[in-house]
Amino acid sequence: MDRVALRGLKARGHHGVFPREREEGQTFIVDLVLHIDTRPAAADDDLAKTVHYGVVAEEVVDVVQGEPVDLIETLAERIAQQCLKHEAVAQVEVVVHKPDAPITVPFDDVTITITRTRV
């Protein structure tokens, strides 16, 4: 499989288990790797035979800005399922970054990485 990667998609969401996270929100950053077969699109130079990564980016931002969840695991799953709605996507790797997580010690980032495959 070939890979199309989107890195650093940023959106404000209201996800988390603490009331402050739900009320104030925070920035989430998403990285995606979409596993697709690009040969049909390349052979015909046809966008309809691949995945439109601009559309995927907008959909992912909509998920992050959408209905709040407690866990970034749940958010990552929702993002993966949205990506797999695109027929060309056979597998997706999703990394959700929560750089402003409510942790009391110095840290750079908190992430979850999941991989989901079309069934």
Catalytic residues: 98
Eight-class DSSP state of 16: S
Sign of CA dihedral 40, 44, 45, 47: negative
- CA–CA separation, 85 vs 64, rounded Å? 17
Structure-block tokens of residue 40: 């049909």
CA-based angle 18:20:26, to the nearest 5? 100
Which amino acid belongs to residue 43? A
Closest C-alpha to 49, from 92, 95, 12, 2: 2
